[in-house]
Chain A
């Protein structure tokens, strides 16, 4: 395989044997790809639910036909640009996500499941951002809509993994998220973007299938099993029950706990395990920190919550760390110490290269190491200390980017908390909800353990949607939009000044 085709491109600059008449566009092809995939899944949901509720199913099939048609037309009209500039990739991601959310709004409104646009927007955004926040009572939904709602999370999770593992490293010319171990030749998961995409899709689908089978074996109904397998694999957290996993049998809880822990770990971990590579697994400092965080959180919950069993504590810890959002008990009534620990754990989130959200374990770990280096530098100003991750040195540029990202993340969190407080939540509720939403977790002290948003004001709903976007596509991508608007404003002002000057002349 030579240098030119490692990314799946032929020497003419186009993928495969596409005709030259196609318009090169990364963003538009991304949208059509997404519509094609999601349209097909929507169609499947419609077909499965035909016997239960023909009305909802037909509407889903209608949306499916429209989406697939647009997708196919797009596939025929556009071709991937050879080396898209990072801004095009990022804009493409934002537009793709937005198109999917708008389609979701259309489905909710057309089926009559939700009456108002703001509630439909929130439900759709929560689905595609894998956040366990909802305005619906899932038990009142038809089979097709229950499945479709879970599919939004499954697709959102897939989008998240592809963004984290393929698109962002491509856009940033090297991954700041994924540790060096992942980028070495030992695992060739991301060496070729298209191959990586296929592998991820295969692993993700297989994992979901295994989960569905496991849930079904524990005695859960078929539809419930499928719904929960979709929302576990994607770290989404939607459930077919109003009160999530409360009252669900022990076997299903075990499956959910294991599923959440696996979903919250990196796809690289799964890849190494499948390939039987023990060395990178042992070497991965991120995995060690993740496992330690799960253990410590469980211990903290068990110690301070007398009534809670170890299993339930582990379930809650796994839900928080993987940012899934399932609940096995009303954890919001636990002690303030547990709430503080969970807040911190949710803010940290899952491993990089997973479907979960949050600051990511690898970032937090690298930041902690860079803090230790700064302390060392204070004592010996001329000392040279290399920050290492999994035994490999981390580039200075990566550290700089991660610390900048962390500041931006906190700033967005602060602004979000202020806006939520302006909607009527109290100080702790707004802080918790901001952190939880920005990590794509969902439930919080403000919204309750099952993420019910029924009583939240429209202002809060409008605040939560962009935060979900930031959670799924990274804070920087959303902030880049503001910078872009700022640049646009500046260029407008300059052109206005020029126009005035020419008028004066």
Chain B
């Protein structure tokens, strides 16, 4: 009673005009930022096809108003562990749902025979695929042809926001968050831990975004120089390349250009996008060889090289393609999947780049590459190379312990011994990842998906890759392969994968714990 009176007095005095809530504050900033992207896309739409301008503007206005109000009326409160998961998890859900709004208003999925309910499902799926940087699409060839250029640019921009993360962006503009701020970044950024690039957390976030923006611009410039893509195409693809997303404004993705030079540029860009951004910062600050001293980066390059070489040889031995074609399609697709970008260089269904028509052994390699993913602290998905390295050491230790049961053997990464707590956490994550895949495959098959498509789609969705196997290959629209509920399950798995499982599972813990604490007090 006393506290209530004190609160009302404080309100009367204007002392507390804002609500203390970290999740709401972060959500407000993220919504505002995303609305800004919609507004820019509306301008592009206005200057080009001018058919979806209204939808984008309305969405931007709604998002800007709601986000701005939340930002203005709330302040950052105490950042407890459970608040971190809650802030990140709810922000991503809200952003995904809000991100579907332009597609729904503009009727991007309103093909003949597609009812409004399915349009909503497709829009949410597309938004989840965009923000989580997955790259799977529910758009059919007709939908691509009908959508405005501004709308397609907005679709690309969703991946740009999702790449480095909207929460990292929010932390960059927040004045002071202390240790909790770094945890916020860690909860969103891929990998077991985040490097501190500056003493202040907001400065770290700013530097990460600075590197990211500069990298995006560089990719855009490099693509524009190469013959083929226009300025629009270069900007659009730079968003989804730096974010290792995989969306393209064309239904046949990079196969639209059929250009080896462009594919080489993109291979380099995808590898850089899948490397740790802290390394890029350090390289820019005068340590040019830092990448090659990093065990994770070296392992990633090694795994991409070995997988590409194996795929090339297997495809060539199969006899369907010449050595040059085998080399081209293998390296591009292995790098696209291994970095979790998910671009395809198929010029159409059944063409050389369509990996669902390849020999099964190479498809298994692609499945394994989907599981692995890129480096920690990058924009890529999957389990991450560092975790695979730790798990490799963990398995080797188990084997050695079979030989010497009482031996004390540390798991090493390079020459460094990894603390047991981290090994245990990584093992826990690995298991959780497998559990989500198992549950996901069961759910998608129960909802009518084929076994091959479901395994591929779930592994692809949780790894934020894009294409899958069977009918859900690189040239397919998933709206024609999976049922509506299955698409929603896959959209949820994409978000779970983007946030590396924990925030999405633990986001409900905060309200639940608060409620149980309240009832205990009573």
Binding site for B on A (CB under 8 A): 86-87, 90, 171-174, 304, 335-337, 339-341, 344, 367-368, 370-371, 373-375, 377-381, 400-401, 403-408, 410-411, 414, 417-419, 421-422, 424-431, 445, 476-477, 479-480, 483
How many contacts A-B (CB < 8 Å)?
157
Report if B361 contacts A (CB, 8 A). yes
What's the nearest-Cβ distance from chain B to residue A89, in Å? 10
25 sampled A-B residue pairs with Cβ under 8 A = A174-B405, A336-B445, A336-B451, A336-B454, A339-B451, A340-B441, A340-B445, A340-B451, A344-B442, A370-B428, A370-B431, A374-B424, A374-B429, A381-B81, A400-B394, A403-B427, A403-B431, A418-B368, A422-B359, A424-B360, A426-B452, A427-B456, A430-B360, A445-B451, A479-B395
A407's partner among B367, B394, B424 (CB-CB below 8 A) is: B394
Give complex CA distance A340, B434 in Å. Answer: 14
What's the nearest-Cβ distance from chain B to residue A459, in Å? 11
Apart from A405-B395, A414-B368, what 20 extra A-B contacts exist at CB < 8 Å?
A: A86-B404, A90-B403, A337-B445, A340-B454, A341-B442, A371-B432, A374-B431, A375-B506, A378-B85, A400-B397, A400-B424, A403-B398, A403-B431, A418-B364, A427-B469, A429-B360, A430-B364, A480-B399, A483-B399, A483-B400
What's the nearest-Cβ distance from chain A to residue B347, in Å? 23
Report if B76 contacts A (CB, 8 A). no
B446's partner among A337, A368, A370 (CB-CB below 8 A) is: A337
B398 and A401 form a contact (CB under 8 A): yes
Report if B402 contacts A (CB, 8 A). yes
Question: Per-position contact with A for B342-359: 1 when CB-CB < 8 Å, else 0?
Answer: 000000000000000001
Report if B197 contacts A (CB, 8 A). no
B405 and A171 form a contact (CB under 8 A): yes
- Residues of A near B427 (CB, < 8 A) are 370, 400, 403-404, 407
Interface size on B, residues (CB 8 A): 57
A90 and B402 form a contact (CB under 8 A): yes
- Residues of B near A86 (CB, < 8 A) are 402-405
Question: Per-position contact with A for B400-432: 1 when CB-CB < 8 Å, else 0?
Answer: 111111100000000000000001110111111
Nearest chain A residue, comparing its CB with the CB of B509: A379
B365 and A418 form a contact (CB under 8 A): yes
Query: Which B residues between 107 and 159 are near A, CB-CB below 8 angstroms?
Result: none
DSSP class of A's interface residues: helix, strand, loop or mixed? helix
A-B interface, 4 closest residue pairs, ranked by CB to CB distance from nearest: A404-B398, A374-B428, A421-B360, A422-B361
A371's partner among B359, B431, B442, B455 (CB-CB below 8 A) is: B431
Report if B173 contacts A (CB, 8 A). no
Nearest chain A residue, comparing its CB with the CB of B317: A422
Question: Per-position contact with A for B230-268: 1 when CB-CB < 8 Å, else 0?
Answer: 000000000000000000000000000000000000000
Give complex CA distance A373, B513 in Å. Answer: 17
Report if B502 contacts A (CB, 8 A). yes
Q: Given that A172-B402, A374-B428 are known contacts, is A407 also in contact with B391, CB under 8 Å in the complex? A: yes
Q: Given that A371-B428, A407-B391 are known contacts, is A421 also in contact with B398, CB under 8 Å in the complex? A: no
Give complex CA distance A410, B459 in Å. Answer: 15
- Residues of A near B435 (CB, < 8 A) are 368, 371
Give complex CA distance A445, B397 in Å. Answer: 34
Q: Given that A374-B432, A377-B425, A422-B314 are known contacts, is A173 also in contact with B397, CB under 8 Å in the complex? A: no
What's the nearest-Cβ distance from chain A to residue B501, in Å? 9
Report if B97 contacts A (CB, 8 A). no
Report if B382 contacts A (CB, 8 A). no
- Residues of A near B399 (CB, < 8 A) are 404, 408, 476, 479-480, 483
A407 and B398 form a contact (CB under 8 A): yes
- Residues of B near A476 (CB, < 8 A) are 398-399, 402
Give complex CA distance A397, B160 in Å. Answer: 44
Give complex CA distance A403, B396 in Å. Answer: 11
Q: Given that A86-B403, A378-B502 are known contacts, is A427 also in contact with B363, CB under 8 Å in the complex? A: yes
Give complex CA distance A374, B368 in Å. Answer: 25
Give complex CA distance A87, B403 in Å. Answer: 5
Nearest chain A residue, comparing its CB with the CB of B505: A375
- Residues of B near A419 (CB, < 8 A) are 361
Give complex CA distance A414, B366 in Å. Answer: 12
Report if B180 contacts A (CB, 8 A). no
B364 and A427 form a contact (CB under 8 A): yes
What's the nearest-Cβ distance from chain A to residue B408, in Å? 10
- Residues of A near B469 (CB, < 8 A) are 427
- Residues of B near A304 (CB, < 8 A) are 446
What's the nearest-Cβ distance from chain B to residue A9, in Å? 20
